[in-house]
Amino acid sequence: MHVLGICDRGADGDAIERVVDRMVDRLERTGRVGVVRYDATIADGQALHEPNVVGGDVSYELGADGDWTASGTGMNVADAIDELAVGCDYAVIVGVADLRYPKLVVGTDEPDEDVLAAVEAPADLDPETVVTALEATEPHETLESLVDRVKRSPKAERSGAIATFTGRVRAKDDPDDARTEFLEFEKYEGVADERMAALETDLEEREGVLEVELYHRTGVVEDGEDIVFVVVLAGHREEAFRTVEDGINRLKDEVPLFKKEVTVDDEFWVHERTE
Distance of CA 119 to the CA centre of its chain: 25
Can you list the alpha helix ranges (DSSP code H) found in 108-229?
Answer: 127-135, 143-151, 191-204
The reported pLDDT for the residue numbered 7 is 86
The reported pLDDT for the residue numbered 175 is 86
Contacts 24+ apart (CB under 8 A), 13-21: 15/106, 15/107, 15/121, 15/122, 16/94, 16/106, 18/122, 19/104, 19/106, 19/119, 19/122, 19/125, 20/92, 20/94, 21/64
Residue-wise DSSP of 90-102: EEEEES-TT-SS-
The reported pLDDT for the residue numbered 69 is 55
The reported pLDDT for the residue numbered 207 is 96
pLDDT tens figures, 98-155: 788 999 999 866 656 678 888 988 999 999 999 999 999 999 999 999 999 999 999 9
The reported pLDDT for the residue numbered 111 is 55
The reported pLDDT for the residue numbered 18 is 92
Identify the structural domains of the chain with CATH numbers, from first to last: 2-135 (3.40.50), 143-274 (3.90.1170.40)
The reported pLDDT for the residue numbered 70 is 56
pTM over 0.75: yes
Ranges of the chain whose pLDDT falls below 50: 42-57, 62-68, 272-275
pLDDT tens figures, 97-112: 778 899 999 986 665 6
Cα-Cα end-to-end distance for the chain: 36
